[in-house]
Amino acid sequence: MASDRRPGFTLPPGSCDTHVHIWGPFDRFPLAEGAPYTPPERTKHDLRALHRRLGIERAVIVQTTVYKADNRAMLDAIADDPARYRGVALVDETFGDAEYRALHEGGVRGVRFGFLKHLGGVPDLALLRRTADRIAEMGWHLVLHLDAESLLAFEELLRGLRVTVVVDHMGRVPAPQGTHHPAFRLLLDLLERPNWWVKVSGAERISAEGPPFRDAVPFARRLIEAAPDRTLWGTDWPHPNVRWEPDEADLVDLLPEFGDATALRRVLVDNPARLYGFP
């Protein structure tokens, strides 16, 4: 959504948007063949303009399936300001020591796997397990894009993971299902383990009411209460495949309903600094 509005809520210094994407410029970084959707061009320059409007100082750029394991656009953006940017990559079976080294030197600190049907469905679980073992040695983490159905379907796999794991978008349990939904209860149970983290992003994805997405607040509050030192936040800009494209200022203005100033400083500043090694 094109907007010039600045949020009413002032983010604390050092705040980090831990979930953004970059697409393009397509003449330099074309989409992968067979990409599951065709996004609009949204470049690193657009990202910087967004964060100037919101008052965000740091960001984690998450690779999306439209580029598959070609992480060049993300690495190019990180290279512009390596003190303020980190990345989460997609990898495939061709990645070896040299490829992982290049990613690490480029600011990558995690690898993402998705389970959603419209984005390709269940990943190669053998690759996921091998990758988890490989990145644990490097101090990286696994990022999992799950929904309520896949959380429950892969409970055994999830409980067996020993690497640090970050779950995207509050586990994508639809807000009308409530915080007592079995998938959300499973997520809370996993968060009792010290290697599990969660992003209180994606309010616009789980909401049934629409902007400003207040029906997502109980989920975010409960997750922050459950794991105050292992919760992150992000805008999910530029919001691929959403029912409502939010004004990111609305997402920032929702934050005071997630917790008090102490809790929000952890979520926005301290936790991402610790996980991603920001100075």
The residue from 147, 168, 236, 250 that is catalytic is 236
Beta carbons of 97 and 122 less than 8 angstroms apart: no
Q: CA triplet 192, 196, 201: central angle to 5 degrees?
A: 110
- Listing DSSP states for 127-146 in one string gives HHHHHHHHHHTTT-EEEEE-
Give CA–CA dist 73/76, Å, rounded. Answer: 5
Please choose, from the candidates 60, 112, 76, the residue with its C-alpha nearest in 3D space to the C-alpha of residue 91.
112
Chain mean position to CA 108: 13
Give CA–CA dist 168/144, Å, rounded. Answer: 6
Number of other residues whose CB lies within 10 A of the CB of residue 188 = 18
168 annotated active-site: no
Beta carbons of 110 and 88 less than 8 angstroms apart: yes
Residues with a catalytic annotation lie at: 236
